[in-house]
Amino acid sequence: MSGSGVRGTVTMHDVAAAAGVSVKTVSNVVNDYPHIRPATREKVQKAIDELGYRMNLSARSLRQGRTGIIGLALPELSLPYFAELADSVIRAAEARGVVVLIEQTGADRQHELDVLTSDRRQLTDGLIFSPLELGPDDADALKVDYPLVVLGERIFGGDWDHVTMNNVDAARAATQHLIDQGRRRIAVIGAHAGETMGSAALRVLGYQAALAANGIPLDPALIVEGGLWHRATGADCVARLVESGVEFDAIFGLNDALALGALHALHARGIDVPDPVAVIGFDDIEDAAYTSPTLSSISPGREQIAQEAVDLLLARIAGGGDPYRRVIADFTVVPRESTGV
Amino acid sequence: MSGSGVRGTVTMHDVAAAAGVSVKTVSNVVNDYPHIRPATREKVQKAIDELGYRMNLSARSLRQGRTGIIGLALPELSLPYFAELADSVIRAAEARGVVVLIEQTGADRQHELDVLTSDRRQLTDGLIFSPLELGPDDADALKVDYPLVVLGERIFGGDWDHVTMNNVDAARAATQHLIDQGRRRIAVIGAHAGETMGSAALRVLGYQAALAANGIPLDPALIVEGGLWHRATGADCVARLVESGVEFDAIFGLNDALALGALHALHARGIDVPDPVAVIGFDDIEDAAYTSPTLSSISPGREQIAQEAVDLLLARIAGGGDPYRRVIADFTVVPRESTGV
DNA sequence: TTGTATGCGTTATCAC
DNA sequence: GTGATAACGCATACAA
C-alpha cells in the first residue's frame, strides 16, 4: 500500500530499496546517465513502474537551481495577437521540454516594471518579455540578472537578446500595397504622439517613407492618434477621422485590432470597403481571414518569432556567455478583399 | 559584494547573520508570523532590504509540498473563447496570489488524457481542466489524486469540483430569441453526431426544446455536423447547408467561432444578415461586437466561471474534504445586429 | 518571543 | 558501474 495513490509519497529511496540499489543509481536511470549496466537499468525501471514513482520536481529545482519553467510576460491574452503568440510560444516550449508561465501586464507601465522584479522570477529560469509601455528610458530596468529575451523594438542595445521584426519595412510594404491599388489619401490609425522607438512610431515611419518614395505629400490630418491598440480604439479613430471632414480613400491600421474596429466603424457609417475606402491591418491574426470583407494584413512570422525567442532564451539559460543576439523575423504582405485584391 | 546581483545567492542564513537573529526569526518575518517584536521585525526587514534577499521558492515548495502554481489545461489559446477564459483565470489567480501554468491539449483526446498524468502535475498544486474530447467513458481517468476542477459538462458525477453553465437552457434561449424574431427555419451548425454529454449535444437539446415549445417541427436537414468549433468549420457548415438546397432563415452557431465562419460564408455567397438569414452565436467573445453586422450571442459569464473555478481549486488545495461542488454560471442573451435587433 | 536542529527529495562529489 | 553522504534553502517541532 505504501504510497500508492498518495501523491508524492514514493521517493527515490523507496525505489532504491525496492530495486536493491542506491539512490544514486536510481537518479542515474531517471536522468539517462550513459554508463549503466542494462540489467541494473531494467531492475530500477521495474521498481519505478511498480511503485508508480514520480520525480519530485521541487527537490530537483532546489538542487539544480532550475525549474524548467520559462515566463512569458505580455499585455493581455484577450488581444488576439498575443493569444496567438502565446499559443506559439507554448508549443515551441513544449517541443523543447519546458513549460510556460504567463503573466499579463495589462499594458500598464508599472506592471511591466513589476514583472521584471517580481518574486515570480524565482519560479522561472528566464523571461520572454513583450513590453508595450516601457521605452528607452527604462533600459536600466531591463538590466536584470536572469536570462531575458525582449520582443519588439521599443528598447535597443541592452544586454539582452532581442527578437523583433522590421516594423519600418513592413509598414512601408503595407502602405505601398495601398498605393499600388491606386490610393493616395491614406490615413493611418493608432499613432502614438510622443513616441520615438515603439512599434507605433516605427510603423508610422514606414508609412511616411512609402509616401515619400511615391511622391505623395504627407498630410498630418491623416495621422490619427490612438492609445491602446484595441478594436474599440480603431472604431474611435475612424469616428474622429470622419468627423474631421478630411478626405481619405484608405486606412492603415497599425495592428489588426485597430483595423477590425475601423471596418466596424466604416460599416456602421455605410462606407463600403474596399471602395471607396480600402483597409489594411498588421499582425495577420486569424480573424483577418474571416471578417466581411476579409482583411488584408502584414504577417509578422509569429511562429518564427516564438521559436527564435524560446531558442534564444534556452540557450542563454544553458549558460552561453555568447554575445547578445538580435533576431529579425520575416514578414509578408497578405492581400485580401479589404484592399480590393 | 557577496551575492549582490548574483541571483539566488542571498539566503535566510545571510539575512539572519546580518540582522543578528536566527533563521527562524527571518522566516517568521517574511511569512508574517503574528508574534514578532516590532524592533526585531524592523531589524530583519532592514537586513533583507540591504542584502536584496529573495526567498528561494523551490526550497519553500520542497518543504511545504506546494508550489503556488495552478495548471490550466485548455484546447488552444488561438480560439478566442479560451484566450479570454485564460485571461480571466490568470487575473483571478493573481488576485489570490497564485500563478498559472497553461497547457494546450489541442482538442486531442490522448493529449487530454496525458495532461492529467503528466510530470507537470508535480509542478502544480491543482488543475483547472477544460476537456473537449473526453467523455463519460473517461471518468476513471479523472479520478486523480490532486485537486481538480473540471469546466464544462462533458463528464458528470465524479469526485471533483465542476464549473459549468446551463448549456441546455442557454441554447434554448438562443433559439427562442431567433423564434421571437419570426424565424421558423433555424439551422444549427457544429453538431456532434455520436455525442450525448458534450456541449454540442446539450446545446442541440436546448435548440430542440425551443422548437418543440413553439410547435415548430424539427427538420434533421437543418442540423449540420461540424467537428472542431473553429471559424473554418462554421464556414464549411454553411457551405454544405447552402449546397444541400434546404431552406433556412436563421443559423444558430454552437459557438461564436462557428458563427463567425457562418457570417463569412454567407457574405461570400451574397446572402445578407440578418435578412434573409439571421445568425446567433454562443460565448460572446469580444469579436462579436465588432463583426459586420455585429453578432448576437450568449454570454456565458466567463468572469464568473473563472473566479469560481479558481476559488474552488484553491479551497480544495487548502485541504477541505468538503463535498464536491457543482457551480452553474449564469448566462444572458446578447442581441445584436445579426438577429435584426 | 526567539533559537536549534532536523528533514523535505534530489543531485553531485567523491570514493570504491 | 555503483554506493555513501553532503549539500540545496526553507519551514517547523521542540526547546528555551
pLDDT for B156 beyond 90: no
- The whole-model pTM stands at 0.93
Report the distance from CA of residue A60 to the C1' of nucleotide C12 in Å, as an integer. Answer: 12
- B69-106 pLDDT, tens digit per residue, is 999 999 999 999 999 999 999 999 999 999 999 999 99
pLDDT band at B1 (very low <50, low <70, confident <90, very high): very low
Count CB neighbours of B131 within 10 A: 25
Confirm or reject contact between B59 and chain A (CB < 8 A): yes
- Which of A158-162, A332-336, B18-22, B29-33 ranks highest by mean pLDDT? A332-336
Shortest CB distance from B87 goes to which of A56, A59, A78?
Answer: A78
pLDDT band at B138 (very low <50, low <70, confident <90, very high): confident
Level-2 CATH architecture, domain B68-165+302-329: 3-Layer(aba) Sandwich (3.40)
Give the pLDDT confidence score for residue A4 in this predicted structure: 35
Strand intervals (E) in A160-277: 161-165, 186-191, 223-225, 250-253
Count CB neighbours of B24 within 10 A: 11
Check B291 against A292: CB less than 8 A apart.
yes
pLDDT for A5 beyond 50: no
Kindly state the DSSP code that residue A120 receives in the 8-state scheme. Answer: G
Separation between Cα atoms, residue B185 and residue B26, nearest integer Å: 71
Report the distance from CA of residue B199 to the C1' of nucleotide D2 in Å, as an integer. Answer: 56
Confirm or reject contact between A256 and chain B (CB < 8 A): no
pLDDT band at B36 (very low <50, low <70, confident <90, very high): confident
Instruction: Pick out residues whose CB falls under 7 Å from strand C.
Output: A 8-9, 11-13, 23-24, 27, 30-31, 53-56, 59-60, 62-64; B 20-25, 28, 35-37, 39-41, 59, 62-63
More confidently predicted of A107 and A339 = A339
Confirm or reject contact between B91 and chain A (CB < 8 A): yes
Point out the residue nearest to D8 (C-alpha to C1'). Answer: A63
Q: Could you tell me which CATH number the domain at B12-55 has?
A: 1.10.260.40
Give me A299's grid cell.
504577417
Point out the residue nearest to D1 (C-alpha to C1'). Answer: A36
Report the distance from CA of residue B45 to the C1' of nucleotide C3 in Å, as an integer. Answer: 18
Q: What is the dihedral of CA A281, A283, A289, A290, to 10 degrees?
A: -80
Q: Which strands sit side by side in the sheet containing B250-253, from one edge to the other?
A: B223-225, B186-191, B250-253, B278-280
Which residues of A fall within a CB distance of 8 Å from B104? 87, 90-91, 94
Which residues of B fall within a CB distance of 8 Å from A143? none
- Least confident piece of the model among A156-165, A323-332, B139-148, B213-222: A156-165
Contact yes or no for A78/B84 (Cβ under 8 A): yes
Best CA proximity match to A132, nearest among A62, A181, A85: A85
Confirm or reject contact between B84 and chain A (CB < 8 A): yes
What CATH superfamily is the domain B167-300+334-339?
Response regulator (3.40.50.2300)
Separation between Cα atoms, residue A281 and residue A262, nearest integer Å: 10
Which residues of A fall within a CB distance of 8 Å from B103? 90, 99
Confirm or reject contact between A108 and chain B (CB < 8 A): no
pLDDT for B3 beyond 50: no
Check B292 against A263: CB less than 8 A apart.
yes
Kindly state the DSSP code that residue A68 receives in the 8-state scheme. Answer: S
Same fold yes or no, A68-165+302-329 and A167-300+334-339: yes
pLDDT for B338 beyond 90: yes
Give the pLDDT confidence score for residue A2 in this predicted structure: 34
Give yes or no for CB of B64 within 7 Å of strand D. yes
Shortest CB distance from B87 goes to which of A100, A104, A261?
Answer: A104
Mean pLDDT value across residues A199-210: 95
Mean pLDDT value across residues A277-286: 97
Best mutation target among B123, B144, B228, B303 (most A Cβ atoms within 10 Å) is B123
Q: Where are the domains of chain B?
A: 12-55, 68-165+302-329, 167-300+334-339
